[in-house]
Chain A
Amino acid sequence: MIRATGVRKSFGEVHALDGVDLDVARGRVLGLLGHNGAGKTTLVNILTTVSRPTAGTVSVAGYDVLSQGAEVRSRIGVTGQYASVDEHLTGFGNLVLIGRLLGAGRREAAARATALIEQFDLTGAAHQPSRTYSGGMRRRLDLAASLVGRPDVLFLDEPTTGLDPSTRIALWETVEALVSDGTTVLLTTQYLDEADRLADWITVLAKGRVVASGTSERLKADLGHRAVEVVLGREGDLSTAEASLVAAGFRTHVDAERRTLTARVDTSAAVADVVRALDAVGAEADRLTVKEPSLDDVYLALTQSPAAQRDAA
């Protein structure tokens, strides 16, 4: 449903996107991860026909974004970081407006608006001007607005930035329901848990380039690692404990403020080796936890890799 090949976008000397390839099948969720300035929004702008790529080809829902923009736009929904609603219109009025612009008749547009108002739990406020809505309500209205045309492809550009946890989870559930109905989703986010939960496939963008791409499990297996985190009872033990672990062949990290030592472990057996190494120098552990690989590891490993840093310079 989304196919991009060799997409570049330059603003003068700055290369916001430097040859990006994407391929997302129907009903899949692609998570696009990256820091601010990695090129996520630039890419979404190109995929949604708002901006023109400097080079490369892009098709969305089977149509070329450059030559068939209107076809693309009638098949996509876009929700950005900020709620795009008309403050002076009611929630219902906003949704009817979008339906009518899409070509629905008065009655059809009203029926669709009513259904969405109900689905997004806005019934009580449907006929209030949207400027009286809370932040969470506005975002729900915004998402509802992007769904009026039952889009084939939904673009969610950092959809939960600035949302409270319960609204965030509710939005995730809505997205999951849409995906189970066959909607294709491209999600950009800085939150790894969000990508982990929603995305079938994750692409990490850094400095306008794809630096990794794979399922969440695959990325974690390849780039993440399991670690043992030890909180020591006495601060004085930190250096001796670390020396002992290094001597035993572990890669370690010390957080003096939290009296915490982290050692990378590749096998379950290695956990016992950590305990033994600590015992050998008489370091007492207050708490010992095994951390499973997370996308955070992947993300940090990639975005702080020498390649990414070289590009940043």
Chain B
Amino acid sequence: MAIQEQRLEHPAETAGPPTGVGWRGAGAMTQLGILTARQIQSMYGDRRLALFSLVQPIIMLLLLSEVFGTMADPSDFPHGVRYIDYVVPALLVTTGIGSAQGAGVGLVRDMDNGMVARFRVLPTRLPLVLAARSLADLVRVTTELAVLLVVACVMLDFRPAGGVLGTAAALLLTLVVIWALIWGFIAFAAWLRSVELMSSIAVLVMFPLMFASSAFVPLNVLPEWLRMVARLNPITYAVDGSRKLALGWDPGWSVPGALATSAVLLVVAVCVAVRTFRRPPNE
């Protein structure tokens, strides 16, 4: 076809003054700060949603302490430890797991609503978008857990032997483990890119992690096979560590165990997340 041979006869490209304003992208730390602030702002943009996310763990706390508290046979429990003091440090971890999966759903939502597409064509470093997501969600989880602890103290007379320091240490350990889990869910989200799949994965991952552990009952009341699973479960170490710190016991190997399993998870999840997130949509 003759027309195919034509070329646009445009004037020689002149250097000309740049029409841009000369903004060439903010530094990495500035971008991380801006993106994290945006995530937090966005997260609490819908006040009702923010309120529900705070109410949910409180309801779990009330139900668990009341329902299981009446059932648990005190003879199976460590001597002199009340169920509320036993269960709250574990609830920190399990509530954290529940909240961590919100990070994955949030990231998928950002991919669906086009924000990620926008970030891809800005001079934004893509791993920072993920890091901001993880930090914002860590802020959210911290808030939820802090509220949980306050409610436990005020309403349910949570008074662990470890005192304020032990409880703070338990909270800190929990947050480290949860941050690794948040990255785990971010990696799933970057790979799966679907809210529906994320929800299924969340259930698939969350419940075994929570229940095949020492979170709600001591390991020795579990059947043999479940006890084996619980021993391999990183959440068991996190729960043990958090509980022992709060109760003022010697945490032993639980703290290094929790930190080591989290570190492994964190490294794997960050690598998978960053790599798969680079893949453009529809490829």
Contacts and interface: CB of A to CB of B under 8 A. Distances in A.
A78 B121 contact: yes
B42 interface: yes
Contact of B16 (A26, A45, A100, A101): A26
Contacts of B6: 213-214, 218
B220 interface: no
A115 to B, nearest CB: 11
A29 B148 CA distance: 58
A28 B8 contact: yes
Interface size class of A (residues with CB under 8 A): 35 or more
B142 to A, nearest CB: 20
A84 B124 contact: no
Given A50-B280, A101-B31, A86 B42 contact: yes
Given A25-B8, A51-B283, A100-B34, A152 B20 contact: yes
Interface string B135-173: 000000000000000000000000000000000000000
A222 interface: yes
Given A89-B42, A101-B122, A102-B122, A23 B8 contact: yes
A201 B8 CA distance: 7
B38 interface: yes
Q: In the complex, which of the residues B20, B31, B113 has the most CB atoms of chain A within 10 Å of its own CB atom?
A: B20
Interface in A185-244: 200-201, 210-214, 218-219, 222-223
B75 interface: no
Contact of A150 (B20, B26, B31): B20
B29 interface: no
Nearest to A212: B3
B280 to A, nearest CB: 4
Nearest to A215: B8
Interface of B, secondary structure class, is loop
Contacts of B41: 88-89, 93
A156 B34 CA distance: 27
Given A74-B123, A218-B3, A182 B19 contact: yes
A36 B184 CA distance: 36
A98 B21 CA distance: 13
Interface in A99-116: 99-104, 112
B30 interface: yes
Given A50-B121, A73-B122, A88-B42, A102 B23 contact: yes
Interface string B1-40: 1111011101101101011110111110011001100100
Interface of B: 1-4, 6-8, 10-11, 13-14, 16, 18-21, 23-27, 30-31, 34-35, 38, 41-43, 45-46, 113-115, 117-124, 280, 283
In the complex, the 5 A-B pairs of residues with the closest C-beta atoms, listed nearest first: A88-B45, A84-B114, A25-B10, A102-B23, A88-B42
5 contacts: A50-B117, A89-B45, A97-B34, A103-B27, A183-B19
